[in-house]
Amino acid sequence: MIESGQEIIESYSEAYPQHSAVLAKGISVTSANSVNFYGPDGGLLHEEALNGGKRIELDQETISYVLNGGVYRGSERGPKSLLVGLPFEIEGQRFAVFMEPSIGPFMTLILRFFQFELLFSLLFGSALILLAAQYIVKPLKKLTNATRRMSKGDFSFELRSKRKDEIGQLTRSFGSMAKELGTLEKIRQRFVSNVSHEIQSPLTSIKGFTKALKQKKMDEDSRLRLLTIIEDETERLSRLGEDLLQLSALEYEHLRLNLGALRLDEQLRKCVISLEPQWAPKNLRIELELEEIEVHADEDRVYRLWINLLSNAIKFTGPDGEIFVTAKRKGDKAIVLVRDTGSGIPENDLSSIFQPFYKADPSRTSASGGNGIGLSIVKRIVDLHHGEIQVTSSPGEGTEFKVTLPLDQPSNKM
């Protein structure tokens, strides 16, 4: 607009004074802007050329500002106003020209249409934003409520979502996590309960028999019998503490295995020999069929694995029974079978025997000195060596444990 104003000033200066009125009228007809000229006295020039409808309403202060050499730029007169005022001189006299876009009825209608469209878009967009916010915030509120319940130890809620976006995935993942934590909490509570029971039982026996020993009239044979029971219960507590420490160590996340070359067949023979005090009094027959197999494993951990399996077989095999130990190589794996002719395990209990403190026959396990941790330790050692363990059994027909270990370990860290 300023550039156009400067061109108008040049034309007006050339046409002044004879043809200035004609020029002003031509500009009024052809220009898209309303153009007003003011003389040195601040009065409007060529008013007759404005056709009545294009006069710019100005205050005297603005006119004087431009006549004194100022350039006026401003839109403070309203949203439709974009006013420019330029000063110029002709023959030593000061003049001013003001320009403002001329908006006709059609353009006014278009502007109103766009104003209405913008207002409608604003209202409609706001409504959509509110709906979208509810769509997003509602599942987040559910997650927040679920988090509060989890912080209080309540895992009984269930979160479901049919959404396919990230919030839906987050909701389903959170629900799965809550379910897993709930399961772990139940396992923890059961574990604490079992540990308490296992500790309390021998302590109760020791306490009761200790009180009985205080009786002065007890004969020597009865006293020795009670002392033997107290000794057995003390050993049971000691074994429980040792097994718990062993299980805790095996469950340690950053446990490192001391891997090395190991003759598996020789280790199995050593285990059978070391357990002779357990199987000899029962007149058990131990049959070994062992190939020469060398594996890469943690010798101490694997030794504990065979001791637990063989001890378990000896405990539940009756007098004059048989235990078969077989070791053979198959491809890049070693397979060890420990089979007994004992009482067997019910089918319903096979999937649970590797859980801590689980006892398929609690009365028999307690009588034989077991605490239900031995097979849990076995399972953990096998897992640490990237192996597998399977069990097959039928009541009255014995039990067979099948342990598969890789000959080489991929890593010495779990």
Q: What is the mean pLDDT of the chain?
A: 79
Higher pLDDT, 193 or 260: 260
Q: What is the CA radius of gyration of the chain?
A: 49
In one-letter notation, the amino acid at residue 273 is I
The DSSP 8-state label assigned to residue 408 in this structure reads: S
- Of 50, 103, 105, the C-alpha closest to 80 is 103
The DSSP 8-state label assigned to residue 280 in this structure reads: T
CB–CB of 301/384 below 8 Å? yes
* Predicted pLDDT of residue 139: 77
* Predicted pLDDT of residue 255: 62
pTM for this prediction = 0.48
Q: What would the pLDDT profile of 272-321 be if each residue is shown by its tens digit?
A: 998 888 888 899 999 999 999 999 988 888 888 898 889 888 988 889 99
Contacts of 296 (CB under 8 A, 6+ apart): 259, 260, 261, 262, 406, 407, 408, 409
Higher pLDDT, 348 or 63: 63
* Predicted pLDDT of residue 338: 92
The CATH number fitting domain 188-249, selected from 3.40.50.300, 3.90.850.10, 1.10.287.130, 3.90.550.10: 1.10.287.130
Structure tokens at 305: 């694995």
Q: What would the pLDDT profile of 173-204 be if each residue is shown by its tens digit?
A: 878 888 777 777 776 776 666 666 667 767 87
Class of domain 2-102: alpha beta
- For the segment 115-121, the average pLDDT, to the nearest whole number, is 85
The yes-or-no verdict on residue 411 having pLDDT over 70 is no
> Could you tell me the end-to-end alpha-carbon distance of the chain, in angstroms, rounded to an integer?
78
Q: Which CATH architecture has domain 253-406?
A: 2-Layer Sandwich (3.30)
The DSSP 8-state label assigned to residue 43 in this structure reads: P
The domain ranges of the chain are: 2-102, 188-249, 253-406
